[in-house]
Every structure is written in C-alpha cells, then in structure tokens.
Structure 1
Amino acid sequence: MKTSAFLYPWDVVGDPEAPARIADLGVQQVTLASAYHSTRALTPRHPRHRIVTAGHASVLYPPSPERWAGRELRPYAAGSWAPTPDPYGEAAAALAAAGLEVHTWVVLAHNSRLGTEHPGTSVVNAYGDRYPWAPCIAQPATRAYLTELAAEAAVRPGALGTELESLGWYGLAHLHAHDKIAGVGLGDAGQYLMSLCFCPACAEGYGGLGLDADELSASVRRALEPGWSTGSSDAGSSAIGKLLGAGTAAAVLQWRTRTARTLQEQVVAAVRAAAPPGFQVLLHADPAAHHCGANAGVDPEHILGVADGVVVPCTGGPALLAPFAVHRTDRTVLAANLTVVSGMGGSPATLAEDAARAAGLGATELRLYHAGLASDADLTLVRAALS
C-alpha cells in the first residue's frame, strides 16, 4: 500500500538529514502542513531546537497579497516559529529532491485567533458561549474565507495533491491550552448538543426547517441538564433523538449536514479549479454525520462523489473504514490514518498488523501520524514494518 507520513515544515527546514531520514522509512509520500492551527510540537532530532510553539493558526508560505486584498477575513502569517519566509516551499523542495511525493496538509475550520479577533465568526452554543477555535461554517463570509484559503494553501508549487482537515463543523471537543473541561463526561450525544451553533446564520437556517432557534436552544439546555449532575455516556444518533425528539433531531442534523456538504462541494471545486490535472483531493472524515472536529462527519456515499477519497482515523481500530468501503470505486482512495507515536497512544510495534486489518476493511493507502513527532525507537519500528 502507498504510505504517507505527516510532517511539519519545521521538521525539515534547518535539518539537512531530515529528507533522507523520512525516505528511509519506506514511505512514498509526505503530507506536509501548509496551513495549520496553533500547536506546541516536539522536534526530537532537529539540530537547532527541540520545541516549536506555533502561537496561532497560520499559513506556512507567503500568502498572495492580491488574493486577499480588501478581505476582512484573511489567513495569518506565521510568527517566529516559521524558520524562513516560505517554510512549506523549502521543506517541499527538499523532500521532493529525496524522491518523495509531496501533498499539502490544510487545516481549515479550526482557528482560535480568527475567533478571538472576529468573535462574530464563532460557533455559539445553546448557553450563549462562543467557541473561538470553531468558525461557524454556515456564515457566508466564513465560507468564502475557507474556500479561498483552501484553494491557495492546497495548491502549492510542486504539490501532487492535498488533504483537507477540519472541512466541516468543529465543536466543543478541542485540545485547548490548559484544557479543563473533562470534569463532567458528556458522552457522544452530549458533545453533539454542546456543539450545536446558535449564531444568527444558524438560527435562520433552523427557521427555514420549521424550528424556532430560541425554543431549540431551550430544548438543548433541558436535554443537557441531567448530565451536568451525573455525567452521561449516551452515544449515537438514536440517543440524540431521544434527548431532543426524533423530528427535531432530524431537522437539526439536516441543517448541519446540508451546510457542511455544500461547503465541502464548494471547497473541493475551488481547489480543483486552481490545481493542475490529476491533482488529488482527500478529506479527513468520519462516517458518522453528527460528529464534528478535525475529522468532519460526512455521509460516505456523498463525500466519495465529491472528493477523490478520505483519510479515516484508525488508531483505535479500522472499523470506521467499512461505511466508506461500501461506496468506493476503483479510483477511490481510502487512507487509514494510524498514529505511530507511542507517547501519543500509537502502536508502531503493531503497524504491520494494523495495516493488514485496515486493508481487510478496504484501505488502499496508509497515513502515519507523525514522522516528525515520533521518537527514534518509534521510527525504527515503522521502518521495520514497512520493509
């Protein structure tokens, strides 16, 4: 199976040995971040540093002044964590020179600085709390910004394809700085209810489906109330239907699914219009439509009719591949995303077995998260598995 390793540009720029080290793993491709959220990342082999702190979401190349002229919402340039003016471009060139295909890795609807500086763009929950990390994808200005960002960040010089992360609803779950929200377990259903948006655009959208936004938010708060005392493990769409009422839950999901679908269609079309022929477009995705976050909840049949394929989280097992495999064609890419960093819950020691299980459920490719973060011992195990 074709295998790609995730990397940040700062894993490569300033480390002349990095490209050969990655190629020596046995991967054929690198998925290299060109637009990324804030993070604090380990660089265990870099000759100049050990920790990179990216203080806010940014693009890792020089954005086009002409493209963004006159736009209120625009990408942020990287700060001091960017080792050069074009870290993506320099890293991509070095990796390509080592014989590796390079695809872009683009994070879209996940941007805390955007929500801080433009609070009106954020998801607003049923209690009126804003989620600055989660831009509401129903708002026209946000949709236009994300579409333009995707077209620019995905189609970098020399890239043969892209992987679009967070192209859908983001919600409550978020690895925020000094996160302190795990004291009450909400379960899958509670997480969903806490992720519903009640900004003006969403209120209008609910109204178009016969729902009053104020009544809906009150219903959500009532449904959540018992969980604040005892916690909850309720999971799945059936649990959401019991909490909200089946008809209301279906209408809410219809609004959110339609909003995400049309944005995904719009973004993929914009990327393809900007890209050369044969450029591959994949989406990080989850087959449960009510899920939100980095792996956008999608309808498998629909998304495989829009994108060239999906990247599916499989570290906990390959089961999420099955709903996509039902709808694949000979040209569909089903990439199983496996964490190979032991300290982050990955299992590089079982990579060969995990890959075989994923292939049995339809995976055509592998993604390894993350070659820059992994220890030397982890990378040795990866190399052995891929050999």
Structure 2
Amino acid sequence: MKTSVFVYPWDIIGDPDAADRIAGLGVQQVTLASAYHSTRALTPRHPDHRIVTAAHASVLYPAAEEVWAGRALRPYAAGDWAPTADPYGEAAAALAGAGLEVHTWVVLAHNSRLGTENPDIAVVNAYGDRYSWAPCIAQPATRDYLVTLAAEAAVRPGARGTELESLGWYGLSHLHAHDKIAGVELGDAGQYLMSLCFCPACADGYRGLGVDAEELRTAVRRALEPVWATGSSAAGRSAIEKLLGADLAAATLDWRTRTARTLQERTVAAVRAAAAPGFQVLLHADPVAHHCGANVGVDPEHILGIADGVVVPCTAGPTLLAPFAVHRTERTVLAANLTVVSGMGGNPAALAEDAARAAGLGANELRLYHAGLASETDLTRVRAALS
C-alpha cells in the first residue's frame, strides 16, 4: 500500500538529515505544504529550532506577480518562519533527492488574515458574527481567489500530484488561538446551524430557492435557543431537520452543496489545466455533505467523478471510507489518513492494525500525519509498522 507522510518545509530546510530520515521510514511519498494556514508547530529533531510559529496563512513559494497583480484578494508571503525565499522548492528538492515522490499540500478556504483584512468575504452566521478564518465560498471574489491559488500552489516544479484541503465550506469549528467556545456542546446539528452563512451572496442564493434570508436567520436562532440552554449532541441530517424543519434544512443543504460542487469542479479543472498529464488531484474529504472544515463534506459519487480520489480522516476509525468505496473505480485513490503523533491523539503502535482495517473498507493508500511533528518514539513505531 503506497504511503505518504505530511511534512512542512521548515521540517526539512536546515536539517541535513531530515529527507533521508523520512525516506528511512519506509514511505514512498511526502505531502509537502505549499500553501498553509497559521500554525504553531513543534520541530523536535531540527538542529536549529524547536518551535516554528507561522503567524498567518501564506504561500511557501514565491507567488507569481503576473498572476496576482491588480487583484484585491491575493496570497500572503510567508514571514520570518520561512527559512528561505522558496522554502517549498528547496524542501521538495531535498526530498526528491532522497528518492521520495513529492506531492503538494494546499490549504484553501481557511485563512484568518484574509478574512480579517477583507471582512466582507467572511462567513456571517445567523447572529451577525463574522468568521474571519472562513472565507465564504459563495462569493465570486473568494471563488476566483481559491481557483487561482489552487492552480498555482498545487502545480509546483517537480510535484507529481496535489492534495487540496478545505476546498469547500469552513464553519464554526476552528482551532483558534486560546479557543473558548466549548462551554456549550453544539453537536453535529448545532455546528451546522452555526456554520450557515448569511452574507449577501448566500442571501441571494437562499432567495433563488424561494427562502427569505431574514426568515431563515430567525428560524436558525429560534432553533438554537434551547441548545444554548442545555447543549446538544444531536447529529445527522434528521437532527438538523428536527431543529430547523425539513424544508429549510433541505434548502440550505441544496444551496451549500451546489455551491461547493461548482467550486470543486472549477478548481480541479484549473489544476489539471496548469499541470502535465498524469498529475494526481486528491481532495481531503468527508462523505457527510453538511460537514465543514479541513475535510470538506462532499457527495462521494460526485467528487470521485471529478478528482482522482480522496484523503479521508480515519484516526477515529475507518468507517468514513465505506461511502467512497462504493463509487471507486480501479484508478481511484482512496487514502486513509491516520494520525501517528501520539501527543495529538494518534496511536502509531497500532498503525499496522489500523492500516489493515482501512484496507478492508477499500483504502488503497495511507497518509500519515505528521512526520515533522512526531517524536522519535512515534517514528520508530511507524518505521516498524511499515517494514
């Protein structure tokens, strides 16, 4: 089973042993960040540092001025956390030199600085709160930005493929600094209602489906009132329908699903147009259409009809693979994403067992999160499992 590990450029640059160490794990591929959100990352083996703080979302290569000149929305250059002018390119060269196939890792609709500096493009919830980290994918400017960014960040020199993260709706759930929103359990259904957008573009979208945005806003707030009092663990479409009513639930899901689908179609087409034949395009995805976040909710049949495959979160178990496996072809990549950092909830000691369970539900590749963040003990366990 082909296996890839996730890596940041700063894990590689400045550490002359890093590329060979990763190759020595027994993996065939690395998924290397070329456009990434803000983060604070551990580098437990690097000879020069232990913590890298990326203060805002950025591209990790020199963006092409001729592509972005005159655009209101454009990617941010990395700050002092980028060790060179082209950290992606230098890290990719080192990894390829160690015999590893390199694919890009591109984060799209997750960018706090973009939403902070351009508040009109952010998701607006039913209470009027803006989610600066979540650019609304219904807005034309956002869509143009994401399509252009994906094509540039995905097709870097030497890359054999890409993995597109957060290519869809982002919502309330977000690993924000000093996060303090867990005081009331919202459950899956409450998370969905708190992720619905009421910006002008979405209001127009609801109107096109015969739904008045202000009436919908009132209905969402009314539905959430008892949740704020007691909390809720309700999950699934039926729970959303119970809170909001079947007709309004169907209309919102219809609008959001069609909006995400058309963006995904445009983006995959743009990446393919920029790439050489045979370039692999995968999406980080969840088979539950109303889910938001890094692993965007999709219709499995639709997404496997436009992309080469999906990367599916499986650390909590491989069950999310099954809806995709039904629609796979012999060329489909169905990659099980497993966390192997024990301090982040992973269990590298069980990697062989977890991989076998994932294969039993249709996975034909593995993704391991994350070679740069893992302790030496975690990497030893990965090495043993892959051998």
What is the TM-score of this pair, normalised by structure 1?
1.00
1:283-322 equivalences under 5 Å are 283-322=283-322
Q: Show the counterpart of 2:182.
A: 182
1:81 partner letter: W
What do the CA deviations read for 1:166-215 (whole angstroms, capped 9, x no partner)? Answer: 00000000000100000000000000000000000000000000000000
Question: SS at the partner of 1:16?
Answer: coil
Q: Show the counterpart of 1:197.
A: 197
1:201 partner letter: A
1:310 partner letter: V
CA–CA separation in structure 2 for the residues paired with 1:307 and 1:46 = 36
Q: Show the counterpart of 2:244.
A: 244
Q: Show the counterpart of 2:32.
A: 32
CA–CA separation in structure 2 for the residues paired with 1:248 and 1:178 = 34
1:320-331 equivalences under 5 Å are 320-331=320-331
Q: Show the counterpart of 1:151.
A: 151
1:225 partner letter: E
1:1-387 equivalences under 5 Å are 1-387=1-387
CA–CA separation in structure 2 for the residues paired with 1:343 and 1:290 = 29
What do the CA deviations read for 1:295-330 (whole angstroms, capped 9, x no partner)? Answer: 000000000001000000000000000000000000
CA–CA separation in structure 1 for the residues paired with 2:117 and 2:126 = 22
Question: SS at the partner of 1:61?
Answer: coil
2:136 partner letter: C
What do the CA deviations read for 1:275-298 (whole angstroms, capped 9, x no partner)? Answer: 001000000000000000000000
Alpha-carbon shift at residue 353 of structure 1 (Å): 0.1
Question: SS at the partner of 1:90?
Answer: helix
CA–CA separation in structure 2 for the residues paired with 1:364 and 1:119 = 41
Aligned-CA RMSD value = 0.3
What do the CA deviations read for 1:32-84 (whole angstroms, capped 9, x no partner)? Answer: 00000000000000000000000000000000000001101000000000000
Alpha-carbon shift at residue 383 of structure 1 (Å): 0.1
2:64 partner letter: S
2:169 partner letter: W
CA–CA separation in structure 1 for the residues paired with 2:312 and 2:346 = 15
2:114 partner letter: L
What residue ranges of structure 1 are gaps of 5+ in the alignment? none
Alpha-carbon shift at residue 247 of structure 1 (Å): 1.2
2:127 partner letter: Y
What do the CA deviations read for 1:63-106 (whole angstroms, capped 9, x no partner)? Answer: 00000011010000000000000000000000000000000000
What do the CA deviations read for 1:226-262 (whole angstroms, capped 9, x no partner)? Answer: 0111101110000001111111111110000000000
What residue ranges of structure 2 are gaps of 5+ in the alignment? none
CA–CA separation in structure 2 for the residues paired with 1:284 and 1:328 = 16
2:63 partner letter: P
CA–CA separation in structure 2 for the residues paired with 1:305 and 1:227 = 38
2:117 partner letter: E
CA–CA separation in structure 1 for the residues paired with 2:115 and 2:144 = 16
What is the TM-score of this pair, normalised by structure 2?
1.00
Alpha-carbon shift at residue 385 of structure 1 (Å): 0.1
Question: SS at the partner of 1:128?
Answer: coil
Alpha-carbon shift at residue 368 of structure 1 (Å): 0.1
2:12 partner letter: V
CA–CA separation in structure 2 for the residues paired with 1:73 and 1:106 = 17
Question: SS at the partner of 1:305?
Answer: helix
List, as ranges, runs of 4+ consecutive aligned residues in structure 1 with deviation greater than 4 Å.
none
What do the CA deviations read for 1:319-376 (whole angstroms, capped 9, x no partner)? Answer: 0000000000000000000000000000000000000000000001000000000000
Alpha-carbon shift at residue 160 of structure 1 (Å): 0.1
1:379 partner letter: L
What do the CA deviations read for 1:135-187 (whole angstroms, capped 9, x no partner)? Answer: 00000000000000000000000000000000000000000010000000000
**Matched pairs, number:** 387
CA–CA separation in structure 2 for the residues paired with 1:253 and 1:278 = 34
CA–CA separation in structure 2 for the residues paired with 1:71 and 1:238 = 42
1:287 partner letter: P
CA–CA separation in structure 2 for the residues paired with 1:92 and 1:188 = 38
CA–CA separation in structure 1 for the residues paired with 2:147 and 2:349 = 39
Question: SS at the partner of 2:306?
Answer: coil
Alpha-carbon shift at residue 24 of structure 1 (Å): 0.2
Percent of matched pairs sharing the same residue: 84
2:150 partner letter: A
CA–CA separation in structure 1 for the residues paired with 2:182 and 2:93 = 42
Question: SS at the partner of 1:27?
Answer: coil
Alpha-carbon shift at residue 12 of structure 1 (Å): 0.1
